[in-house]
Structure 1
């Protein structure tokens, strides 16, 4: 009597996400944003007077509870999700399925310029060593969580649905910018929020290009992880604009940022490529799936 092979059991949860779709990416970002926004409230009984509402960079504890905690929670949620759908290390950390072009190297260069200007122009004497260390640790969580979400999960979902790379770049940057729309509801000046949305859209395009040209999401995480802490220390807060300073290097950050805006929008026009339904080079090439 011959023994029949037992068919592999399907995982409906994994199958649902493996098929991809732009609406699934939007749904995932919305659920993540809700968890990122509201779950930290559970820690309020443990905060005491640690959170300084007037200056988030006043103490290490204020930086942790005011900025880092939601990022830590978000990072954990993303890792748990990735494990449940078995997307670690591939496709999230796999080699890019579409080869980058030489001109895409302008993206990391344009991102590095304001990072270096802020890094060498900031007056660190106004902060304690512990605050500076905590801010840079916070930056590591920013780079990891936001890139894993928008250049990781979102890009995988868009590519799996068969969208070409122009659409992948545009929508992943748009969803990244949408994450910062929550500032509308925190009492921040609407003009500042709109400026932040435009900045994050262009920055998202640059992170996509960094990932493409280096072949890995890791380098996008690294540059992102250096951008936010240098910005916070240079401005003294989160999403601050119109900072008054006499420092020459800090004064050059604004024109360097405008140059980054122009570069991002110009390079968006030239983005080409199609992953043919793949999210990583290690995955077998297949015909693009119908768009969901």
Structure 2
């Protein structure tokens, strides 16, 4: 394969196709700033007049992330990466990786099963499910899609790929302190999101396609938010609420066993003639 084709047809594509952790950091920071602040300029005037709780969820939480989804799609399209991101993974998973999928899915089901739906109301439940789809798509395309791809293109081992993608995913949630969240809950959330990121990386590996961690993630946030705000009475509710601790333990333990590396074609040095 011609190296020019592998790296891209323009400077923009060649820059990103060489990969690297610092480019992954740039992508995450740029996404965070764009999705956090750009929608505020257009949605801000409408927020104050909203009185319906479900509408507030969709406008204040769902709409900015939906905008972020669009930005990520355009960015991936500009690089010619859409097929890479949503096609089959270039490295196979191992059977033990299914444990990360099973643990996450189990507690998502338990969370949904222990929600007081009568108190929450259909509107709020639907609003969080829709918002969860946006969250799952945006955060997985960014961290398990773009970040993983950038790390692999730089030739890093899969353990490093998993660590960096999970660390950047967790770092995005540090911004919750700017919205008034206390330090201790934020630190706990960072540990959880890092471990959850490892589980989503394992889901990507073992299923072989990005769509599955997207859907798994899309059911995680709304199930946790709804179960925390509207818990049903009963002993199962307490057990379901312990899911975050189990995910933390699973993610931190399972990352130890991550192995492998995706082979990348050797690219020509800057200024060198491409090989055919």
TM-score (norm 2): 0.90
CA-to-partner distance for each residue in 1:236-264, whole Å, 9 max, x for gaps?
Answer: 29xxxxxx875322200243332222221
Within 1, Cα distance between the matches of 2:60 and 2:119?
A: 19
Tell me what 2:238 maps to.
Answer: 251
Say if 2:111 and 2:241, in contact at 8 Å, map to a contact too. no
Shift of 1:103: 0.5
Tell me what 1:19 maps to.
Answer: 18
TM-score (norm 1): 0.85
Within 2, Cα distance between the matches of 1:34 and 1:184?
A: 15
- Among candidates 251, 258, 276, match of residue 271 of structure 1: 258
Within 1, Cα distance between the matches of 2:15 and 2:82?
A: 17
Say if 1:121 and 1:250, in contact at 8 Å, map to a contact too. yes
What are structure 1's unaligned runs of at least 5 residues? 1-6, 53-57, 238-243, 278-285
Within 2, Cα distance between the matches of 1:225 and 1:28?
A: 21
User: Is structure 2 residue 39 aligned with structure 1 residue 45?
Assistant: no
* Runs of 4+ more than 6 Å apart: none
What are structure 2's unaligned runs of at least 5 residues? 270-276
Shift of 1:64: 1.1
Shift of 1:128: 2.4
Matched positions, count: 263
Within 2, Cα distance between the matches of 1:289 and 1:272?
A: 27
Shift of 1:287: 4.8
Tell me what 2:113 maps to.
Answer: 120
Tell me what 2:274 maps to.
Answer: none
- Decide which structure has greater helix share: 2
Within 2, Cα distance between the matches of 1:118 and 1:191?
A: 24
Tell me what 2:63 maps to.
Answer: 69
Tell me what 1:3 maps to.
Answer: none
Within 2, Cα distance between the matches of 1:224 and 1:162?
A: 27
Shift of 1:20: 0.5
- Among candidates 157, 161, 169, match of residue 168 of structure 1: 161
User: Is structure 2 residue 151 aligned with structure 1 residue 158?
Assistant: yes
CA-to-partner distance for each residue in 1:14-43, whole Å, 9 max, x for gaps?
Answer: 111111010000011011111111112111
1:188-267 maps to which residues of 2 (within 5 A)? 188-236=181-229, 246-267=233-254
